[in-house]
Structure 1
Amino acid sequence: MNLNWFWAQSVVSSQAEEQSSGKMSSLSSVNSPSLTPQFCFNERVLRDFLRLSRSTIDDSITQNLNALLTPAREGFNPSSTDVRQLGASSRRNPSKESCATFKNSVLFPSWQSRSDVLNYCAMVATSPDPEDPGVVSRQVETAREQERVVDERLDPYSGRYFPREARTESLANLVRNERSVEQIIRARTWGIVSERCDYSGSWEDALNQWHEHQK
């Protein structure tokens, strides 16, 4: 995601607000990865997608909200999203219209994109994996372990055997951890958005309402 490009294309003004919804939605969809088992099993790529999405939207939430304050008559400076703004603008709140546009067209779509990825990869992690490249080596290791002669009287720990983790198990652990991280990040982000945009209620309720409007 390129936030500078996005905001340069979505100047927060009365004219831009009429068109921003489509542009913002397009940005979210363009940057959603193609969901395949190979994508999920490449844990580095999966982590990179989650990290980039979070850093662009959630980790920069204060800067993103401050960018909504830029007066349309002064034009928009894309560099304003690159630095933390500590002036008077950081103490002002965006308009209700700007908040709603950002929430519905940027924040929630990015959350949904991450949820879709994690839900899909969770399904992959619980499905049969006949193409696992490590299955043969694990079978060989297990067979060797069964043939090994162990005398636990000489070494009480020699009988312990810990087979290598299948990639589905590793993926399941990753998804579980990332879901926990996602809960923490969303609660933190929504706390800032609620304060700046004068929203009430939990992020879960707000997201559910957004889902209802998408139907």
Structure 2
Amino acid sequence: MAQPLQLPPSSSSSPAILTPQFCFSTTALRDFLRISRSSVDDTITQHLNALVTPARAGFDPSSTSQRGARPLSRQVDARSCQSFKDNVLFPSWQTRSHVLSYCALVATSPDPDDPETALREAEDEKNRERVVNERLDPYSGRYFPREPRTQQLASLIRQERSVENIVRAKTWGIVTERCGETATTWEEALGTWRKTRDTT
């Protein structure tokens, strides 16, 4: 069984220590991912808007007489953007990566504490003793064994990683648009951040 994992200090939004029990509690795992995404990625536009410094000139009354289309978003200062990415966005992504990687390890580790092991063995034994006569009952040969919780967890992790890639790509698209980023992908940007953090 995978050993508990201590998360980095920047992971304040998640459990301080990851355990197999946390991963197998799919409700807790999904809730953590949902809350983490909603607090940063789902509200990325609001976060970036909050970084825009209000105009120093103040309100111009004549602006209300102009009916032309106004830009929906304003460019964010490069230093403010970098600070937001380094201190909020990337740490949030890194924490979720830690959680998903750890739970993927749990899903591929032996699971001697699975509470349904005895139940599955009993169902398998009962299936072996069944009399199959598909002429009398065409469904009698069907048997769908109960999945071990490690397989269920592995399936959930695959789904959540796919969701994570979609969420990050969408978030990064907004960040590059508002911050004037170069044409790097979110994977490259996160990788660069990880390297700089490891060297400090």
TM-score normalised according to structure 2 size: 0.83
Q: Deviations over 1:42-63 (max 9, x none)?
A: 0000000000000010000000
Aligned sequence identity (%): 61
Q: Which runs of 4+ in 1 moved over 3 A?
A: none
Matches within 5 A, 1:15-94: 28-33=10-15, 34-71=17-54, 91-94=73-76
- Would the aligned equivalents of 1:108 and 1:207 in 2 still touch at CA under 8 Å? yes
Matches within 5 A, 1:91-102: 91-102=73-84
Match of 1:85 in 2: none
Matches within 5 A, 1:190-209: 190-200=172-182, 201-209=184-192
Q: How many Å apart are 1:211 and its aligned residue?
A: 1.1
State whether structure 2 residue 196 is matched by structure 1 residue 213.
Answer: yes
Q: Distance in 2 between matches of 1:99 and 1:89?
A: 19
Q: How many Å apart are 1:155 and its aligned residue?
A: 1.9
Match of 1:118 in 2: 100
Q: How many Å apart are 1:189 and its aligned residue?
A: 0.3
* Partner AA of 1:151 in structure 2: N
State whether structure 2 residue 175 is matched by structure 1 residue 159.
Answer: no
Partner SS state of residue 29, structure 1 = coil
Match of 1:5 in 2: none
Q: Distance in 1 between matches of 2:43 and 2:131?
A: 58
- The alignment yields a C-alpha RMSD, in angstroms, of 1.9
TM-score normalised according to structure 1 size: 0.77
* Partner AA of 2:196 in structure 1: H
Q: Distance in 2 between matches of 1:151 and 1:171?
A: 35
Partner SS state of residue 193, structure 1 = helix
Q: How many Å apart are 1:157 and its aligned residue?
A: 2.1
How many pairs were matched up? 176
Match of 2:87 in 1: 105
Structure 1 unaligned blocks of 5 or more: 1-24, 74-87
Who wins on radius of gyration, i.e. which is larger? 2
- Would the aligned equivalents of 1:66 and 1:89 in 2 still touch at CA under 8 Å? no
Q: Distance in 2 between matches of 1:92 and 1:119?
A: 36
- Would the aligned equivalents of 1:57 and 1:107 in 2 still touch at CA under 8 Å? yes
Q: Deviations over 1:173-214 (max 9, x none)?
A: 000000000000000000000000000211111111111101
Match of 1:179 in 2: 161
